[in-house]
Every structure is written in structure tokens, then in C-alpha cells.
Amino acid sequence: MLERLSMKELDRLDIQILDLLQKNSNLSTKEIGHKVHLSTTPVYERIKRMEREGYIKNYVAVLDAEKLDRSLTVFCNVTLKEHSKVIGHQFVNDILSLDEITECYNISGDYDFLLKVMVKDMKAYQDFVLNKLGEIANIGSAHSTFVMGKIKESIHVPLKGLGKK
């Protein structure tokens, strides 16, 4: 709570800058400044402040999975046999070591975790389940849902309605 209070509240210009960077992190401060009607120095200072305060975590390139032979996306719901702090930490460490898992969420409901897995094809997924996921201790069950087509895929954080006026 104290950390949040020490951060400067985002204003309309900060939100506009974040939105532009989400769409294209390769924009120069000059290009961003032109779009938000600020000079280069204030844009640079705002971006650096938002990086320091953790609003901007990283800059990445979004890759085309199909062109890189990772065209099968699977959502795998996992239930653990037992629940304890040690078992939970071990499961998380095991998941973090598997490159095929691109996202992992601790969820509520019938399952404990939701994994997003990206592999070449069904044979590669079968190998992943048997030889990697199957080696993780304490997994009670794993249920797979295969993506047949992507309707909407985004890494953007919704920004509409944020920021002080």
C-alpha cells in the first residue's frame, strides 16, 4: 500500500503514451511526442518515470507462432493431488522450467491452474504431456482444450477510463 501511495497518479497524457507504446514499442520519443502534442524531453521523462514505477514492465517483440512452427495452442487445466506451500512452490518451479508453457494462472473453481501451451502439433503435445508435464510430481489431473481458431488475441491492457483528467 505504501508503494502505491508513493507513485504519481497517471494522467491523460501518461495513458496516451502507454497506449501508443502498447501498440508499437518501437516508436521514438519524438514520434510519441508528435502524437500526444508534447516535446521529446517531457515524453522521455514520463516514460522513464513509468518504467521506474513499474507501469512499464518490459518491451517485447510479438512473434508469429505459426511461422515459427508453434501452431497448436492448448489450454490445460491442472488439479493438484495435495495442497501445501511446499508442493505449490515446487509445482510453480517445475512449470517455469517448461518452455512450451507460455502462461500459467493459479485459478479458482474446479481446477488449480490454467496453462497455455504452445507446440508444433498434436504429436508434440502428446510428447509434452507424457514426458514433461507427466514428470511433475503431485499432478492429480490435467484436462486439455485445443484451440481450433483464434478470434481475438491480445497482450494489451485495457486503458480506457484510466488516469486523472
Q: What residue has cell string 517531457?
A: 42
Q: Global pTM?
A: 0.85
Q: 144 has which bridge partners?
A: 76
Range of the domain at 96: 72-146
Does an H or E element contain 139, and which? strand 139-146
Could you tell me if 103 and 123 lie in one domain? yes
Domain CATH for 138: 3.30.70.920
Count of structural domains, the chain:
2
Domain CATH for 21: 1.10.10.10
pLDDT tens readout for residues 49-71: 999 999 999 999 999 999 999 99
Task: Retrieve residue 35's grid coordinates.
Answer: 502524437
pLDDT tens readout for residues 105-149: 999 999 999 999 999 999 999 999 999 999 998 999 999 999 999
pLDDT tens readout for residues 15-59: 999 999 999 999 999 999 999 999 999 999 999 999 999 999 999
- Picking from 108, 9, 84, 11, the residue whose alpha carbon sits closest to that of residue 53 is 9
Could you tell me if 110 and 56 lie in one domain? no
